[in-house]
Amino acid sequence: MKLYEGVKIDAHAHIGEFGGWANVACDPDELLALMRLHNVERSCVFYWDNAMVHRAAVEHPRKITGIVWPDPRQRGARDLVHRALTDWHFKGVKLHPLIHAFLPNDEIVYPIMEEARKARVPVLIHSGHPPFSLPWSIGELAENFRDVTIVMLHMGHGHGVYIQAALSVAKRYDNVYLETSGMPMHTKIKEAVEVIGEERVMYGSDVPFHDPGVEIARVCASGLSQAQLEKVFYANAKEVLRL
């Protein structure tokens, strides 16, 4: 396997501390060091402390792009999203249905989808864990918001059945894109490109949960052509997130 050495965009990275079972953390300097090491031009960064992400994006405008991460059940979630997408120039919305305990197609999500639609930004949704973040449920949301781009983070994550479901949901709904982080099967990255097209699969690392070196290697091992790797590692995220 040959590693892709071209410049990359990371569609999924974090700063901040994730305690509890995860026990991982990353500050902006550590993220920037990883980006230098792996030739990453820009990272899309989200954390539940959105003000912290805003500060990092203001400090490193050419390296860090903010993605707003609301809890849809909280009063003021819509206002937070609106402010981040307008005043702060964030480029997308992240939802984590498992952490915040809601189904992706629950009506509480709709005001946030409407803000994303107005701002013409994608909604990035964690996938792969029952009961709240399964690909089929994300598909129901995609069906109700056909004009909003949804990036299914982890493309089903660690479970083969969910990975397969991620591919079939993305095949059914052309507003669904797949992001590769934390998904163990390199073969499924090539399969995704073949099933849904080379424009709709993008690289993400999920730093600090995963190491970019490992995540990059898996994409490279999948057997994509050089031109396809250029799309997955760079062009697709640039286009979808309007970077």
Complex with Zn ion: residue 64 or 198, whichever CB lies closer = 64
Tokens of 173: 């709904």
Complex with Zn ion: residue 11 or 141, whichever CB lies closer = 11
Select the residue whose beta carbon is closest to Zn ion and give its number.
Answer: 206
For residue 154, the minimal CB distance to Zn ion (Å) is 8
How far, in Å, CA of 53 to CA of 84, rounded? 10
Complex with Zn ion: residue 10 or 206, whichever CB lies closer = 206
Q: Which of residues 176-215 bind Zn ion (CB under 5 A)?
A: 206
Complex with Zn ion: residue 115 or 206, whichever CB lies closer = 206
Degrees to nearest 5, angle at CA 76 with 73 and 77: 55
For residue 14, the minimal CB distance to Zn ion (Å) is 6
Query: How many residues of this chain bind Zn ion (CB under 5 A)?
Result: 1
How far, in Å, CA of 222 to CA of 201, rounded? 12
For residue 225, the minimal CB distance to Zn ion (Å) is 28
How far, in Å, CA of 242 to CA of 174, rounded? 18
Which one, of 84, 105, 104, 85, lies nearest residue 96 by Cα? 104
For residue 215, the minimal CB distance to Zn ion (Å) is 11
For residue 75, the minimal CB distance to Zn ion (Å) is 25
CB burial string 26-63: b at 16+ within 10 A, e below: bebeebbebbeebebebbbbbbbebebbbebbeebeeb
Complex with Zn ion: residue 198 or 206, whichever CB lies closer = 206
- For Zn ion, the binding residues (CB under 5 A) are 206
